[in-house]
Amino acid sequence: MRDLHKALGDISSIRRQMARSTEFRGYGPATLASTGGFALLAAALQALWVPDAENHVAGYLGIWLWTAVLSAALIGAQMHTRSHRVHSGLADEMIRMAVEQFLPSAVAGALLTIVLVRYVPQQLWILPGLWQLIFSLGVFSSCRFLPRPMVVAGSWYLLSGLTCITLGDNRALSPWAMGIPYGVGQLLVAAILLLAVKEGSDEH
């Protein structure tokens, strides 16, 4: 029985090693592009319904948090089905690895939002920039098992976040301070993934 447990442990270790050395293809370009569209749509809705975001913080947060939840749910569902199709037996390990890479930044962003809303609401203008900076860290963390050009997308979110912070006031709560960075950023991610898929097909 001990030998059986050891063998199963060795197999699990080998699967993890294989997953770490394999490029993750569970993110679909069309799905990522859709989330960019969600960001632009959310910006348009904010401009229409919450033009004075600094005085209607709940409405502002509601739009963007629901956009994030919807985008994450869509990506998660598609990642599950696509990974099992593309990675077959390694799918579960690959999905776990992808989640482990991005989850810390998502949790940090959520906790930061709660702290700012609860304790320093007068500084909420800094949230869009911080969200983008934290998102960039998640992208950079994921770069080791994604196509190399993905570092460009991480750099985009880093620069857009810093740009939002340099505004230094409630202008950072403009709908386009979120819509443009995430709309363009997710379309950039989708383009990088699509290019990687085409290059992989050409190699075969």
Domain chopping of the chain, boundaries:
2-203
Nearest to 94 by CA among 109, 81, 107, 108: 81
* pLDDT confidence band for 9 (50 / 70 / 90): very low
121 C-beta neighbours (distance < 10 Å), count? 9
pLDDT, position 81? 93
pTM beyond 0.95, yes or no: no
151 C-beta neighbours (distance < 10 Å), count? 14
Supply 54's token pair: 């600094």
pLDDT, position 201? 54
Whole-angstrom Cα distance, residue 59 to residue 85? 39
CA 149 and chain centroid, separation: 16
The counts of H helices and E strands in the chain are 7, 0
How far does the chain reach from its first CA to its final CA, in angstroms? 43
- State pLDDT tens for residues 108-162: 999 999 999 999 999 999 999 999 999 999 999 998 889 999 999 999 999 999 9
Ramachandran category for residue 97: left, alpha or beta (phi over 0 → left; psi -120 to 50 → alpha): alpha
- State pLDDT tens for residues 21-70: 567 888 999 999 999 999 999 999 999 999 999 999 999 999 999 999 99
Residue 180: burial class (beta carbons within 10 Å; 0-12, 13-18, 19+): middle
Per-residue pLDDT averaged across 100-111, rounded? 94
Residue 202 has pLDDT above 70, yes or no: no
